[in-house]
Homo-oligomer: A and B are copies of this chain.
Amino acid sequence: MQKKKYNISVEATLEVIGGKWKCVILCHLTHGKKRTSELKRLMPNITQKMLTQQLRELEEDGVINRIVHNQIPPKVEYELSEYGRSLESILNSLCAWGENHLTKVYGDKFSVLEDSVLNEQLK
Question: What is the size, in residues, of chain A's interface with B at 8 Å between Cβ atoms?
Answer: 47
Identity of the chain B residue whose Cβ is nearest the Cβ of A110 in the assembled complex: B3
- Residues of A that sit less than 8 Å from B by CB: 1, 3-14, 16, 18, 23-24, 27-28, 42-45, 83, 86-87, 89-91, 93-102, 104, 106, 110-114, 121
- In the complex, what's the smallest C-beta–C-beta distance from A56 to chain B, in angstroms? 18
A interface, over-half SS: helix
Contacting residue for A112 out of B9, B91, B96, B121, CB 8 A: B9
User: Given the complex, which residues of B lie within 8 Å of A45, measured CB to CB?
Assistant: 7
- In the complex, what's the smallest C-beta–C-beta distance from A91 to chain B, in angstroms? 7
Q: Is the CB of A7 within 8 A of B43?
A: yes
